Amino acid sequence: MCDGVALDPIAAAEGTPLYVYSAATIAGRYRAIDEAFAGYPHAIHYALKANSTLAITRLLRGLGSSADANSGGEIDVALRAGFSPAQVVFTGVGKTTDELAHAIDLGVRMINVESAGELERVDTLSRERRVRTKIAIRINPDVDAKTHPHISTGLKINKFGIAIAAVPALCAHARGLAGVEVVGLHAHIGSQITDLDPLARAARSLVALASELAAAGTRIEHLDLGGGLGVSYDGSRVPTAQEYAAAVLPVVRESGLAIVLEPGRQIVAPAGALLTRVVDVKEAGGEKLFVVMDTGMTELIRPMLYNSFHRIEPVVERGAAPALCDVVGPLCESSDTLGKDRTLPRPEVGELYAVLDTGAYGSVMASNYNRRLLPAEVMVEDGKARVIRRRQTLDDVLALEL
Ligand code: LLP
């Protein structure tokens, strides 16, 4: 079930693989963050990269969220979902000149600048347009987020941000530039972080740097703490939004600066499930079975890319005897494994399964490898299921080809 609505008939009607989202879960998790920071000036800029299907983006806007966009495409999706440019923060390590010009023309709330070179580009583009663009400097605090190396961004070996030591001189230089105004400092040290200590340490670095800058004449307005707070994929206990706030608020409070947050996963990951049917069951040697699903790395690449764990459960309990299984996808590579060594009630061909907690970085990272078609997406809201994205057709795909 998803919020009291049975999944079996939805899968029968819409086919599989199929993403299903709970609007109530998204709302509840957004509010939990908002409430955790209530009483302190803060703005939540939902990180669209986690899931930017229009219906989800609109839902978050309706809840009062602002947006964090990582590309020109995400900026435009935010606008189409009804966000005003003033609600959009533009982040990202490789913003092209065209993307920067687009963001400046629109007048986004601010651009999180990732390098000295980008600062110059923003300044030049802004002066050409006779505007002054608000920017935040993304620092690299050299903090180990203790998450998977592929999604760790706050160490100096990572490509992100500017070394703290270089920021005071850069800000002094920026004060002489007519096209930019430094209004914030930004840090995002990684994703799926379940240890609050690195998050608090990054916040402390921002606060210390802000006071150093203030003493030198650059007065900023806010600290952008990024996203990164993890969720529980295996049922183990992870810090809540409340605990996260309790870890970073005391650190930031002394600065009196407003907080910007960019949560993605925290809001949408547990709100989504990927429904899939068993295509084949075959002997894997020994006691083990290969359970071949109709979904794989094309719809959910997280297990293959980060060795990440997602629970995989039958949608309907049949009471079958347990069997040791490797749950695999249909794609032509051995990395296409959704779950290794899982004990499942012995699966049957045609049976419906749910891959859980796939609302973040699931659908958005899907591909057409093997000429597979992007899955449909369904939202359950107020006791009803509705298609929010139809399944892609081969004609959709081939329409791009000349
Ligand atoms: N802000 C910035 C600047 C980011 O780079 C990210 C994520 C976020 C906010 C949101 O982080 P979150 O709250 O969702 O952790 N594809 C990977 C995750 C990549 C995250 C990239 N940056 C995965 O599936 O685990």
Active site residue 332: yes
What's the token pair of residue 80?
């189409």
Residue to mutate, 91, 191, 229, ligand 1, most ligand atoms under 8 Å from C-beta: 191
Ligand 1 neighbourhood includes 192 CB (under 6 angstroms): yes
Whole-model pTM: value is: 0.97
Q: Which distant-in-sequence residues (6+ apart) come within 8 Å of 244 by Cβ?
A: 36, 196, 199, 229
**Which of 138, 135, 169 lies closest to 153, judged by CA?**
138
Q: Which residue's alpha carbon is at the smallest distance from atom 24 of ligand 1?
A: 361
Q: Do 154 and 192 meet the contact criterion of CB atoms below 8 Å apart?
A: no
Phi/psi-derived region of residue 233, left when phi > 0, alpha when psi is between -120 and 50, beta in every other case? alpha
pLDDT of 308 higher than 90? yes
What pLDDT, in 10s, does the model give residues 211-236?
999 999 999 999 999 999 999 999 99
Q: Looking at residue 21, what is its pLDDT?
A: 99
User: How many Cβ atoms from other residues are within 10 Å of residue 15's Cβ?
Assistant: 14
Residue to mutate, 49, 93, 152, 267, ligand 1, most ligand atoms under 8 Å from C-beta: 49
Q: Which residue in 2, 171, 325, 332 is the catalytic one?
A: 332
Confidence category of residue 156, pLDDT binned at 50, 70, 90: confident
User: How many Cβ atoms from other residues are within 10 Å of residue 229's Cβ?
Assistant: 28
What pLDDT, in 10s, does the model give residues 45-93?
999 999 999 999 999 999 999 999 999 999 999 999 999 999 999 999 9
* Strand (E) or helix (H) holding 47: strand 42-47
Confidence category of residue 154, pLDDT binned at 50, 70, 90: confident
CA distances from 203 to 140, 172, 210, 366 (A): 12, 22, 11, 33
Angle at Cα 223 formed by Cα 217 and Cα 225, nearest 5°? 150
**Which of 65, 22, 69, 66 lies closest to 49, judged by CA?**
69
Query: How far is it, in rounded angstroms, from Cα 67 to Cα 46?
Result: 5
Ligand 1 neighbourhood includes 151 CB (under 6 angstroms): yes
The stretch 9-36 carries a mean pLDDT of 98
